Every structure is written in structure tokens, then in C-alpha cells.
């Protein structure tokens, strides 16, 4: 089968003012054409910065993404942003179902599924996040939980082009803790089998990112795990030096 081109996406969460452009410029300056040939790089800043960041990225070095979208195309939803608005601002992708959205805003698998379809309708790639809590892992339910989330959150019609999956164990996000390489391998294998069974060749070619406390020091080890096709990075994507250190693992 064709090797899958990895993706590394940075999720800035609710961090970043206009001054954050300095960090973006440092990142852009540090990504060579050779590196861009090896890995698709994305930064997902807060929505306030999508338009200005999108104007700064040229060529294939980096794409800009969003962190969430509403499931509806327009209407009476004060404070929300549609996928079309995000695309109009220059984003190429949108994260949906991040565990912080599932927790802070009570988003269900059905909500995430609807948001992913809205993303596609606007021509955006949906980066769909799944992951178990610490209690679920301790109870031995991690794989079952993630398989249930995939079944509910990934719409029919998902392809390797329009969808990226991010496995992010909730207990590993922002904690400095990571699963063992063996645990990551087990989960990514289970996700691959699941998606291939349901989506055929598209599921076999779909990018499966790992997320949760990825740093320059562990990026290479995590990337080397079978069926890990890149990373979704939170804290490690805020500073250019850290982010470039992570990207170095992909060259
Ligand atoms: C995330 O929230 O997507 C994430 C992976 O965060 P961190 O890298 O900070 O753990």
C-alpha cells in the first residue's frame, strides 16, 4: 500500500494574540521545503487569528486550521462560527470533538458527527478527536470506548482525504503523561482495523494522529509506532522552538 504522508497539527487552544504572529513567522522560517515534503504541517490558532495567519502561509509549507465549528451552515447561533465562515477566513481543516469541547460544552458523538459533515460541506478536512479517560483506561475499557467514539463520531462517507483521526487519551492531554508505545500501538491497530472494516481502502489510508503531551523529546518514538501517522500537539505547538523540534522527528 502507498505510504501515508504524516501530518503534524498544532492546536493553540485559547492562546494567542496578534503578537503570536512572531511565533508563526519563526515556524515558517524553520520549515524547509524538504521537511514540507515529508510532513503536512498545520497550525490551528484561535478563530480570531485564522484570517491573518492564513495570509502569512504561502505554498505548501503550512496550512491553517480551526479548533471547532458549528454543525449548521448559518442561522441564529450567537457566538458560533460555521464551517463556511472558517473556510472563508482561509482555514483548510477544523478540529472537531476535542475532549475539551466534549467536556466543556457537552458535545456528544452525534454532535461531532454533524460537525464533521458540516466541515466537509464547506470543503474542510475534519480532524476528529477520540480518546478515553483515565478511569476508562484503568477499567480496561480504553479500546471499547474509542471504538464506540469512532462509530458515533465518524460519518459515513469519511475518506482519507476529507478526514483525519486523532487519538488523544484525555489523561495524557496537557499532563506530561503519555501512554507506552505498546498502548499506543494497540489502540492505533484497533482503530485501523475498525476503520478499514467500515470504510475499506479509505480507512486503510486515513491518517491516525496521536495526541497528548507530544514534545521534542518523545515525538520520534511516538511517530515510530505502527499506524501512527503524525501528531496533534497542544502545548508543544505554542513556541516555534518546541514545534520545530517535534517536526524534526519527521525528516
Ligand atoms: C491537545 O489538546 O490536542 C493536546 C494534544 O495537548 P497537549 O499536547 O498539550 O497535551
98 given a catalytic annotation: yes
Q: Is the pLDDT of residue 61 over 90?
A: yes
| Band (24; pLDDT cuts 50, 70, 90) | very high
Find where cell 475539551 sits. Answer: 100
- pLDDT at res. 222: 97
Query: Residue ranges per domain, the chain?
Result: 7-71+80-250
Output the pLDDT for position 140: 97
β-strand pairing of 63-66 with 40-44: parallel
pTM over 0.90: yes
Exposed / middle / buried, residue 146 (Cβ in 10 Å: 0-12, 13-18, 19+): buried
Spatial separation of the C-alpha atoms in residues 106 and 160, rounded to whole Å: 28
In this prediction, residues 72-77 reach a mean pLDDT of 98
> What percent of the chain shows pLDDT beyond 70?
99
* pLDDT value of residue 214: 98
- Residue 65: name the closest of 42, 40, 33 by CA: 42
DSSP H/E element including 135: helix 134-138
Q: How far is the CA of 75 from the centre of ligand 1 (A)?
A: 31
Which DSSP letter does residue 163 get? E
Q: Is 213 annotated as a binding residue?
A: yes
Q: For the domain covering 7-71+80-250, report its CATH number.
A: 3.20.20.70
In angstroms, what is the span from residue 175 Cα to ligand 1's centroid?
9
The answer to whether residue 1 scores a pLDDT higher than 60 is: no
* pLDDT tens column, 118-129: 999 999 999 999
Distance CA 226, CA 218 (A): 15
> Hey, what long-range contacts does 106-115 have (CB within 8 A, 24 or more apart)?
108/152, 109/148, 109/149, 109/151, 109/152, 109/153, 110/152, 111/71, 112/152, 112/153, 113/152, 113/153, 113/154, 113/155, 114/71, 115/68, 115/69, 115/70, 115/71, 115/83
ipTM of model = 0.97
**Residues near ligand 1 (Cβ within 6 A):** 11, 168, 173-174, 211-214, 232-236
Residue 173 reports pLDDT greater than 80: yes
Number of H helices, E strands in the chain: 12, 8
Give the tens place of pLDDT for each residue, 176-195. 999 999 999 999 999 999 99
Amino acid at each position: 500500500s502507498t505510504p501515508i504522508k504524516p501530518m503534524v497539527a498544532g492546536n493553540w487552544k485559547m492562546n494567542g494574540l496578534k503578537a503570536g504572529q512572531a511565533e508563526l513567522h519563526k515556524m515558517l522560517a524553520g520549515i524547509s521545503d524538504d521537511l514540507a515534503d515529508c510532513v503536512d504541517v498545520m497550525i490551528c490558532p484561535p478563530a480570531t487569528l485564522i484570517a491573518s495567519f492564513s495570509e502569512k502561509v504561502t505554498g505548501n509549507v503550512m496550512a491553517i486550521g480551526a479548533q471547532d465549528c458549528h454543525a449548521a451552515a448559518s442561522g441564529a447561533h450567537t457566538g458560533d462560527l460555521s464551517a463556511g465562515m472558517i473556510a472563508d477566513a482561509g482555514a483548510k481543516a477544523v478540529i472537531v470533538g476535542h475532549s475539551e469541547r466534549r467536556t466543556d460544552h457537552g458535545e456528544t458523538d452525534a454532535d461531532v458527527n454533524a460537525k464533521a459533515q458540516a466541515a466537509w460541506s464547506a470543503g474542510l478536512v475534519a480532524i476528529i478527536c477520540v480518546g478515553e479517560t483515565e478511569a476508562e483506561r484503568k477499567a480496561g475499557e480504553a479500546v471499547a470506548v474509542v471504538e464506540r467514539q469512532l462509530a458515533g463520531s465518524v460519518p459515513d462517507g469519511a475518506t482519507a482525504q476529507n478526514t483525519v483521526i486523532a487519538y488523544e487519551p484525555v489523561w495524557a492531554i496537557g499532563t506530561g503523561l503519555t501512554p507506552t508505545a505498546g498502548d499506543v500501538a494497540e489502540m492505533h491497530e484497533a482503530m485501523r482495523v475498525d476503520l478499514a472494516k467500515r470504510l475499506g481502502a479509505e480507512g486503510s489510508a486515513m491518517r491516525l494522529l496521536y495526541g497528548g503531551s507530544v514534545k521534542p523529546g518523545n515525538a520520534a518514538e511516538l511517530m515510530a509506532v505502527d499506524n501512527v501517522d503524525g501528531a496533534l500537539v497542544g502545548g508543544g505547538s505554542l513556541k516555534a522552538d518546541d514545534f520545530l523540534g517535534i517536526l524534526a522527528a519527521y525528516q
